[in-house]
């Protein structure tokens, strides 16, 4: 049966004159209605685990902008918390976790199939969204990729160069590989449950893939993504998967074919013209407007948006930013971008 939702049509390989569009972090702090709902929830994690409020903030940008897709409001670090890690957020600084740096710490983690009670509110959010979203809007579920999640679990926070994770993978590969496998299996279980709850697409965010080079990129970014997609497709072959190995550079080339991804999301460190010639030849691509344009706006925003649409016009494309929209973005600039895409 032919897809009617624009996002699913691009993911199925259709070239559309006007590409579907959504934004990473489209439900977030740049919107006043989000800030009001988060204040009502009390804190970030309380918002993630409140299905009614998490569904509300997911729907807010759809009501305001009529994006072609909604993405589940959650966080990639809910999986390590479900595995038994302590997780909290420091205002103005970001997430903090208890660390896994040795075999003793790893032994305390739960099994991958024991995460669902903890994550049940997330699945309920997906069910609400599947009921309440407009019928022409696609619903995206997501998870963090194993390497990116592992970097937080090992360091206990975000780091500029992921040095603690690199140190562990080199000095104690047995523990590191065991941790990667546990996260991989938990991610498969988590995404399968999101699909069962109603997600029509899933995305795998590997935000720190760019710090992996050569064989390490293949082993710790490409292969875990392939394992996840293979497992998902074995049960739900019709559910498309978007992979985002951010700042992969030349690693983007052939990534879709190597992993089985239906679409590769691109950050803004590569040009649209380069990506059209080297990545889009294998199928759908997503991206890749620099998020700073959502802050600065003006004619540069319009020109760059139209340039990206034109560069990718020869194949299947989903318009998006090269990374998440930032809290200092002007909501009016989002509409300017949409008008430039849709004419």
In this prediction, residue 1 has a pLDDT band, given cuts at 50, 70 and 90, of very low
Q: Strand, helix or coil at 251?
A: helix
**pLDDT tens across 310-340, in order?**
999 999 999 999 999 999 999 999 999 999 9
Confidence of residue 232 (pLDDT cuts 50, 70, 90): very high
The model's confidence at residue 87, banded by pLDDT at 50, 70 and 90, is very high
Residues 6+ apart with CB under 8 A from 165: 147, 150, 151, 154, 155, 159, 176
Domains and CATH numbers, the chain: 7-342 (3.20.20.210)
Instruction: State the Cα–Cα distance between residues 295 and 303, nearest whole angstrom.
Output: 15
Banded model confidence at residue 284, pLDDT cuts 50, 70, 90: very high
* Beta bridge partner(s), residue 206: 245
| pLDDT (tens digit per residue) in 19-32 | 999 999 999 999 99
Strand segments, DSSP code E, in the chain are 69-71, 87-90, 94-97, 138-144, 201-206, 241-245, 263-265, 284-289, 317-321
- Catalytic-residue membership of 75: yes
Q: How far is CA 162 from the centre of its chain?
A: 19
Instruction: Catalytic residue, from 35, 64, 75, 114: name it.
Output: 75
Mean pLDDT value across the chain = 97
Phi and psi at 314, nearest 5°, equal -85, 0
Catalytic entry in 34, 49, 152, 220:
152
161 is catalytic: no
Active site residue 236: no
Cβ–Cβ < 8 Å for 64, 34: no
pTM of structure:
0.98
Which tens digit of pLDDT belongs to each residue from 253-273?
A: 999 999 999 999 999 999 999
Greatest CA separation for the chain: 58
Q: Based on the residue annotation, tell me whether 152 is a catalytic residue of this protein.
A: yes
Q: Is 38 a catalytic residue?
A: yes
Q: How far apart are CA 196 and CA 182, in angstroms?
A: 21
pLDDT at 137 over 90: yes
């Amino acid at each position: 049966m032919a897809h009617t939702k624009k996002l699913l049509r691009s993911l199925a390989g259709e070239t559309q004159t006007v590409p579907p569009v959504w934004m990473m972090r489209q439900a977030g702090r740049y919107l006043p209605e989000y800030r009001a709902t988060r204040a009502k929830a009390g804190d970030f994690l309380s918002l993630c685990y409140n299905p009614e409020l998490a569904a509300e903030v997911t729907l807010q940008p759809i009501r305001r902008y009529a994006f072609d897709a909604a993405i589940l409001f959650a966080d990639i670090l809910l999986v390590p918390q479900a595995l038994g890690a302590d997780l909290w957020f420091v205002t103005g600084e970001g997430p903090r976790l208890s660390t896994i740096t040795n075999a003793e710490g790893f032994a305390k983690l739960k099994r991958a199939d024991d995460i669902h009670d903890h994550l049940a509110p997330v699945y309920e959010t997906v069910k609400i969204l599947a009921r309440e979203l407009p019928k022409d809007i696609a619903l995206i579920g997501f998870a963090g990729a194993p390497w990116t999640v592992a970097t937080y679990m090992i360091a206990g926070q975000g780091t500029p160069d992921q040095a603690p994770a690199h140190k562990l993978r080199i000095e104690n590969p047995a523990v590191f590989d065991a941790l990667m496998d546990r996260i991989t299996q938990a991610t498969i279980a988590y995404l399968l449950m999101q699909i069962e709850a109603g997600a029509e697409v899933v995305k795998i965010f590997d935000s720190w893939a760019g710090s992996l080079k050569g064989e390490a990129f293949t082993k710790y970014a490409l292969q875990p993504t392939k394992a996840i997609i293979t497992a998902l497709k074995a049960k739900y072959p019709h559910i498309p998967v978007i992979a985002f190995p951010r700042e992969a550079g030349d690693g983007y080339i052939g990534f879709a074919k190597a992993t089985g991804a239906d679409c590769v999301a691109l950050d803004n460190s590569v040009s649209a013209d380069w990506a059209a010639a080297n990545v889009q030849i294998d199928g759908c691509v997503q991206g890749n407007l620099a998020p700073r344009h959502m802050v600065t706006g003006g004619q540069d925003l319009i020109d760059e948006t139209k340039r990206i649409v034109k560069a990718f016009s020869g194949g299947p494309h989903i318009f998006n930013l090269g990374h998440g929209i930032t809290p200092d973005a002007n909501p009016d600039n989002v509409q300017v971008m949409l008008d430039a895409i849709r004419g």
